[in-house]
Amino acid sequence: MGKTVYMPDSTLSRKSHISSMAQYLDMYKSSIDTPEEFWGDIAKQFHWETPASPNKFFSYNFDITKGPIHIKWMEGATTNICYNLLDRNVKSGLGDKIAFYWEGNDPDDYSRLTYRKLLEEVCRFANVLKSKGVTKGDRVAIYMPMILEVIIAILACSRIGAVHTIVFAGFSADSFAERMLDSKCKVVVTTDGVWRGQKLLCLKEICDSALERCKKLGHEVETCIVIEHLPRLSASQNRNGITEENGDISPEKRNAFGSKIPWTEGRDVWWHEEMEDASTSCYPVWVGAEDPLFMLYTSGSTGKPKGVLHTTAGYLLYAASTFKYVFDYRPGDVYWCTADVGWITGHTYVVYGPLANGATSVLFEGTPFHPDNDRYWLIVDKYRVNQFYTAPTALRALMKFGDEPVKKHSLSTLQVLGSVGEPINPEAWHWYYKIIGHEKCSIVDTFWQTETGGHVITPLPGCTPMKPGSATLPFFGVLPVLLDENGKEILGPGEGYLVFRRPWPGIMRTLFANHERFETTYFKKFPGYYCTGDGAHRDEDGYLWVTGRVDDMLNVSGHLLSTAEVESTLSAHPSIAEAAVVSQAHPIKGECLYCFVTPNEDVEFSEKLTDELKRKVREKIGPFATPEVIQHAPGLPKTRSGKIMRRILRKVAQNDRDIGDISTLADEGIIEILFQNRIEIK
């Protein structure tokens, strides 16, 4: 590791915000030595209705043995994020600038929104929310596709101090219900449906079952606001999008889809009807620096999702500065992040970061494969994209089709290529660098988490020499440390637990309504540090190489999942006695789910059963969680105390007979049977 180094292109270096390692090191040092001054300077570009108290700019406790964990930035200050993203930019002359180019699933569908128009729409929707009784601190759930209204909904919440909780529209009704229940949201915003490639997703139907389930579990959402999206799509979308699932819907019917969707009078209202008379001005609600901005659920290793809570001032500073420096965004550039707003990447790098910088972005509704496998590259050329940000899993899926689909396009405007979600394998890195970037773009392999709010370990374009597969060095204000099993710091080269010694402005503040879980999950194992749950290796140059999760979590196509979550879904099936799930390498998804199930005594293991189990996981968690393999396990390897030895199951999944020490195993006989039943991943 660490041999091949790629230097940033000199043309890029000359004009970039941070153009040398000396400059980076200098700024890094001041961000660590004098954080108040460093972030205070960054804060100057924003509007603060009340300034921060100078002696309370930054305070924290990361050591659980000394008292409760707390993190505070800019205490005493009041502001409004929406005001900073929209009003401030409009006032400074960016009113007519495009905030978003919207590109639909079908290439015939596209539109755009200027900063001024976005502000008007946000005000209108903020007034709609107010009319539904939403006030500061109330939670609003958002279950929407990648359309302009999702941006409007998000910013309308922040304008009135409401806390948005976006649920990725690929989550099942059950997962959605669980999140609405935990967040006790008052209002939900959704859409009739959306086309993704050739598939029609009926979001309102899923939303309805989720609302019903949530009500049964004891929480009733008062209002459901529905955007009518399908009828306004181009005819070609409706013509092309015939699939098996919806082949019986004639185009006429589908155009009238809006009137056919399930409806609950008194609870459901149409977005366009509510917006009609709403005023285009809405005074922003000034909120405290540490008031909540949003919460976003992420998988927890116990199976119950964690409501990661981010607050206002620190998040704004961090989203804005990471966006500016990591993508080296300059006025006039066009930026495109392919992530869905349902994930943290979408929050920080589709919405908050770009708008805080007055940037122009592309918002894309579709998939990289529709109508053809060159859709991404077509869009890059169409909008002359300068910074492009995507996930390794997407790159690997596209690499399969070879270089031809890429070579049809010039891609000459690209300067920075970002990667996020999982370690990027060197093969994908090289493809990205050579075929997409023509060896003149910087690759920024950004390591971060829902919890970190923004990039924490990342190269800077035009500055950091790159090594394929390494996220390189810390961003400003971030102090990474590697610890050994005993919590001792590893200095110099080595491998260990990746932790952080000090908070940066964008780190989460708590888990919603569960500060105790926040403390145990992230601060208990190694007092004094924030524990990422990842392992990492540091090379001779001090570069960090994230090696992956050290807990029972896995990363499927950049989506974090817990094995416990899938295990409990499988074992809840009436025919299943027990289930154990391990992560297994997958050529495209990075990792996938390899499941072992023990059926009940009288149950036969069949294809029908495996199909049912897969469907169950899909329904319970979401399609991205569908198991790759379900293997019959007449028994599971267990210790004498009854603990499942997942280490051995991992070996079976990998077909690695070198299983190590099995002295604690209760029944050795089962191992051979498991190897014989093993299923190869296609």
CB of 526 vs ligand WT7, minimal distance in Å: 16
Residue 33 Cβ, how far from ligand WT7 at the closest point, in Å?
A: 27
CB atoms within 10 A of CB 253: 12
In whole angstroms, the minimum distance from the beta carbon of 536 to ligand WT7 comes to: 9
Cβ 503 to ligand WT7 shortest distance, Å:
17
Alpha carbon separation from 398 to 401, 403, 677 (Å, rounded):
6, 9, 32
**Rounded Cα distance, 627 and 618, in Å:** 9
Kindly tell me which of 421 and 477 has the beta carbon lying closer to ligand WT7. 421
Q: Which is nearer to ligand WT7, 338 or 555 (CB)?
A: 555
Least separation in angstroms between residue 9's CB and ligand WT7 is 21
- CB 454 → ligand WT7: shortest distance, Å? 9
Cα–Cα nearest to 261, from 306, 218, 221, 226? 226
Q: Is the dihedral of CA 306, 311, 317, 319 positive or negative?
A: positive
Q: In whole angstroms, how close is the CB of 424 to ligand WT7 at the nearest point?
A: 7
Q: Is 296 helix (H, G, I), strand (E, B) or coil?
A: strand
For ligand WT7, the nearest residue by Cβ is 450
Among the listed residues 494, 503, 505, the one whose alpha carbon sits nearest the alpha carbon of residue 522: 503
- State in Å, rounded, how far the first CA of the chain is from the last one: 29
How many Å apart are CA 423 and CA 413, to the nearest integer?
26
**In the complex, minimum distance from the CB of residue 310 to ligand WT7, in angstroms, rounded to a whole number:** 12
Cβ distance to ligand WT7 smaller for residue 278 or 456: 456
Q: Which is nearer to ligand WT7, 175 or 446 (CB)?
A: 446
**Alpha carbon of 87 to those of 91, 117, 123, 323, 422: distances in Å?**
6, 11, 11, 19, 36
Place of tokens 């008379």: 277
Cβ closest to ligand WT7, residue 83 vs residue 500: 500
Nearer to ligand WT7, 289 or 482 (CB): 482
As measured in angstroms, the least distance from the Cβ of 511 to ligand WT7 is: 13
Nearest-CA neighbor of 158 among 293, 289, 291, 307?
A: 293
Asked if 307 and 511 count as a contact pair (C-beta separation under 8 A), the reply is yes
58 or 522, CB closer to ligand WT7?
522
The residue (of 549 and 646) whose beta carbon lies closer to ligand WT7 is: 549
C-alpha dist (Å) from residue 162 to 115, 312, 450: 21, 12, 20
* CB-nearer residue toward ligand WT7: 413 or 449: 449
Q: Give DSSP secondary structure letters for 121-174.
A: HHHHHHHHHHHTT--TT-EEEEE--SSHHHHHHHHHHHHTT-EEEE--TTS-HH
Nearer to ligand WT7 by C-beta: 261 or 428?
A: 428
Nearest CA to 349 out of 433, 421, 424 is that of 421
Asked whether 536 and 483 are in contact (CB, 8 A), the reply is no
DSSP at 472:
B
Residues interacting with ligand WT7, by CB under 6 A? 298, 343-345, 420-423, 445-450, 471, 532-534, 546, 548-549, 555, 558, 560
How many angstroms separate the CA atoms of 95 and 160, rounded? 21
- Is the previous residue joined to 574 through a cis bond, with omega within 30 degrees of 0? no
Residue nearer to ligand WT7 on the CB measure, 374 or 451: 451
